Amino acid sequence: MVSQPTTIGGPQFECETGNYHTFCPISCVAWLYQKIEDSFFLVIGTKTCGYFLQNAMGVMIFAEPRYAMAELEEGDVNAKLNAYDELQRLCLQVKKDRNPSVIVWIGTCTTEIIKMDLEGIAPKLEDEIGIPIVVARANGLDYAFTQGEDTVLAAMASRCPAPQEVRSEAEKKERTGGLRTLFSLGKRDEKKAADPAPSEYVDHEPLVLFGSLTDPVVNQLTLELKKQGIRVSGWLPAPRYTELPIVEQGVTFVAGVNPFLSRTASALQRRMRCNLITTPFPIGPDGTRGWIEAICRALGVTPKGLDEREQQIWDALRDDVEFLKGRSVFFMGDNLLEVSMARFLIRCGMIVHEVGIPYMDKRYQQGELDLLDRTCRELGHPPVRIVEKPDNYNQIQRIYACKPDLVITGMAHANPLEARGITTKWSVEFTFAMIHGFTNAHEMLKMVRKPLDRNNALKSLGWEKLIQEA
C-alpha cells in the first residue's frame, strides 16, 4: 500500500509499507563506547545479537572494547530465571573489572518481545552498585540503523546536570578543601593583576550541541562557531560521562548535528525545557553555512565572513563538482542522512531521482527541508521525491525505469544491484566517515566519485563489456 504523494514546502512526500532494511541499531555501541571514554555498554539480547556484534563490528575495533553481551537463554525467555539477579551479577562483574562511570543497557528485539522491564530494574540496581545505569532501547523492530545513537543520547539527556547541582557539588569540594583555604588566609598575592584580555566571545545564552562526532570534527565545528563569537558550553555526548553538559531549563539553547537525532531533540526540548534551534545540518558548505547562520540568528549574533568561507570551499571542490554535474543518483534509504546528502549533491549539480529514508521527522528536519526546497528552486531541480519506509521491490522497479548513474544503498542490496549492472555505494560508509563541516565536504564527494571513477577506468580498459557478459 502506498500513500498519495503530498507536497510540503517543495519536496514530494510519500510513505510505503516497507520494513527497515538497515543495519541493526545496536551497532551504535561501535562508536559510542569510543566516544564516551569512561562508559561500558551491556547489550541484552540473544546469540544472534552477539554474532552480529562480533562479526559485523569486529573490523572497527582496534583496542579492547568496553562493551559486552548479556545473552538471554531459554530460562530468561520463559521467565524461569530472575532477570534482576542475573543483571546484578553481570553489573557487579563489570564494576569489578572496569569500574566505569556509567553502564548503558542496550535493549534488543528480544527484550521488547518478552517485555523485560529494564527501566524498572535499573534504578534499584543503580542504587545498589553505586554506578549510573542508562537504559536505551535500540531494537530493530522500532528503530533504524543510526537511531540506536538517538535512543542512547535521549536517555542521557535527562542526566545532564542543572546549574544548582553543579554548585552543590562545588560546595562539597570546597568544604573538603577547607584546610588548604585556612592556610591561605592572610597571604597577599604578590603578582600584579594583569589587564583582562578582550573576550573572543559575545554575550549570549549557553549553547549545547548534540550528536556523536569524531574529536577532529568536534574541534572544527566548535572553531567555526568561535569565529562568530559563539562559545559552545558543551557537547552531548561528552568525552566522559562525568562531563555531561550543564543544562538550565528555559535558558540553554541546543542544536543537533545529525538528522537522525529527533528523539534526543524532543527529550532536550520537552523534558529539559531547552530551546531547540531548527537548523539545516552541517553537511556540505551550504549546510554548514546554514547551520551556523541558524545558530547565530537564535542567539542574536550577526554572522560574519560566511560568504567568503563558503566560496573558499566551493573553489576547492571545483574539480569534483565539474565531474558530478549532470549525473544522477538514487537513495534507497538506510542511515537517515539521505535528505542532507541529497541537498548537497543537488547543489553540486547532480540530479536526485528519489530519496528513500527509513524514518522522517518533519519538525526536527524542517530547517533541512527548507534549505532543500530553496536549493531546488535556485538550481531549477524538480521537487525531490522523499519516500519514507520504502518498499525495496517497488524501489528496484523505479531504479530500472530511471536508470541512475549511482545508487546509494545499504550493504544488503549493493551486490545484487551490482550484479544487475547498477553502480552502487554503501550508505554505511557515509555514516562512519568525517563528512561534517566546511573542510570535510571533499571527503563526501570523494566517496560519491569513487564508484563512478571506477566505471570510467573500466571503460578505458575495455573491460566493461567483458564484465557485463560475465
Residue 164 pLDDT = 76
For range 264-278, the mean pLDDT: 95
Cβ atoms of residues 332 and 422 within 8 Å: no
Where in the sequence of the chain do the CATH 3.40.50.1980 domains occur?
A: 6-16+309-469, 25-143, 207-305
In the chain, the percentage of residues whose pLDDT exceeds 70 is 85
What confidence category does residue 298 fall into, taking pLDDT thresholds of 50, 70 and 90? very high
Instruction: Kindly tell me if the per-residue pLDDT of 33 is higher than 60.
Output: yes
pLDDT winner (highest mean) among 25-29, 287-291, 332-336, 430-434 = 287-291
1 pLDDT band, cuts 50/70/90, is: very low
More confident residue, 459 or 367: 367
- Using 50, 70 and 90 to split pLDDT, how confident is the model at 146? very high
Q: What is the dihedral of CA 384, 389, 392, 397, to 10 degrees?
A: -30
- How sure is the predictor about 50, in pLDDT bands with cuts at 50, 70 and 90? confident
Over residues 394-403, mean pLDDT: 95
What is each CA distance from 459 to 2, 318, 407, 467, in whole angstroms?
Answer: 39, 24, 19, 11
Residue 113 is predicted with a pLDDT of 86
pLDDT at 273: 94
Q: DSSP label at 62?
A: -
Can you give the pLDDT at residue 52?
A: 85
Task: Give me the mean pLDDT over the 421-445 stretch.
Answer: 94
Residue 193 CA: distances (Å) to CA of 186, 189, 218: 18, 9, 34
Alpha-carbon distance of 348 to 325, in angstroms, equals: 6
Structure confidence by residue, pLDDT tens digits, 56-96: 666 554 556 788 888 877 655 555 556 888 899 999 999 99
207-305: what CATH class?
alpha beta
Q: Which of 79-93, 184-198, 272-286 is most confident?
A: 272-286
In angstroms, the CA 355 to CA 47 distance is 34
Q: Which of 13-27, 45-59, 73-87 has the highest mean pLDDT?
A: 13-27
pLDDT at residue 180, as a whole number = 39
pLDDT of residue 307: 95
pLDDT tier at 197 (50, 70, 90 boundaries)?
very low
What are the residues whose beta carbons fall under 8 Å from the beta carbon of 374, sequence distance 6 or more?
none
Query: In the structure, what pLDDT confidence band is assigned to residue 321 with cuts at 50, 70 and 90?
Result: very high
Residue written as cell 554575550? 203
Task: Read off the pLDDT band of 181 (50, 70, 90).
Answer: very low
The per-residue pLDDT for 141 is 83
What is the pLDDT at residue 222?
97
Query: What pLDDT does 338 receive?
Result: 96
Q: What is the pTM of this model?
A: 0.87
pLDDT, greater one: 80 or 293: 293
**CATH among 3.40.50.1980, 3.30.360.10, 3.40.190.10, 3.30.70.260 for 6-16+309-469:** 3.40.50.1980
Write out the E strands in 51-184.
67-71, 102-107, 133-137
Residue 349 CB burial class (10 angstroms; 0-12, 13-18, ≥19): middle
Q: For the chain, what is the radius of gyration of the CA atoms?
A: 25
Q: Which of 145-154, 257-266, 301-310, 460-469 has the lowest mean pLDDT?
A: 460-469
Given 3.30.70.240, 3.40.630.10, 3.40.50.1980, 3.40.1370.10, which CATH number is that of 25-143?
A: 3.40.50.1980
Per-residue cell: 139: 531494537
- Give the H or E element holding residue 412: helix 411-419
> Taking residues 399-422, what's their average pLDDT?
93
Give the chain's mean pLDDT.
86
Mention every residue, 6+ apart, whose C-beta is less than 8 A from residue 144.
20, 22, 25, 260, 334, 335, 336, 358, 359
The 8 Å CB, 24+ separation contacts for 371-375 are: 371/280, 371/286, 371/287, 371/290, 371/343, 372/10, 372/11, 372/339, 372/342, 372/343, 372/346, 373/9, 373/10, 373/11, 375/286, 375/343, 375/346, 375/347
Mean pLDDT of 40-68: 77
Taking the chain, what is the end-to-end CA distance rounded to the nearest angstrom? 37
Residue with cell 510505503: 16
pLDDT at 6 over 90: no
Mean pLDDT, rounded, for 312-321: 96
Q: What is the pLDDT of residue 183?
A: 35
* CA gap 283, 228 in Å, rounded: 19
| Confidence grade of residue 114 (pLDDT, cut at 50, 70, 90) | confident
pLDDT tens figures, 416-425: 999 999 999 9
pLDDT value at position 24? 87
